[in-house]
Amino acid sequence: MLELLRVRRILEPAAAAMAAEVITDEQVQGLHELLGRLGPHPDVDALVANDLEFHRRISAYSGNSALWSLLDSLSGPATRARFCRSVVQRGGTERRLAEHRAILDALISRDPDVARSWSTVHVASVEHDWLTSLL
């Protein structure tokens, strides 16, 4: 799991930066609606499904099908469920949602550097939570 997270920490920020350069208004709106469906206190299953779709869309919006394929193979539903369950158990749901909103704000601004930065923070935060859940 830790190795998968470390690879995601390399690839997902690149996908977010690339998406920021080419994302359409309709795609931004779709991401906004996706996050809005969760509400303030989602259950684990809803969080897992939403998280998976949020990241899949961003990698698809990067315009790089090889990058999308790599990220998709690393982040299946079972893997996401394990990460999200540890996050929810440790009270990190609000932080995770705030990080998703920050990534979306960077995409709305079409700022690849900020999108890359927030995506890095987000995946590093998940990695940190995963490591501390093992202790």
Looking at residue 119, its pLDDT comes to 97
- Is CATH 1.20.120.530 what the domain over 2-134 is classified as, yes or no? yes
What is the C-alpha to C-alpha distance for residues 62 and 22, in angstroms, rounded to an integer?
A: 7
What is the C-alpha to C-alpha distance for residues 98 and 86, in angstroms, rounded to an integer?
A: 17
Please give the average per-residue pLDDT across 59-63, as a whole number. Answer: 97
Would you state the structure tokens that stand for residue 116, as one six-digit string?
Answer: 């890359």
Tell me the percentage of the chain whose pLDDT exceeds 70. 86
Q: What are the pLDDT digits (tens) for 12-23?
A: 999 999 999 999
Query: Would the pLDDT of 89 be above 60?
Result: no
The separation between CA 65 and the C-alpha centre of its own chain, rounded to angstroms, equals: 17
Which residues are CB-contacts of 109 (< 8 A; sequence separation ≥ 6)?
A: 20
Most distant CA pair in the chain: distance in Å?
43
Looking at residue 70, its pLDDT comes to 92
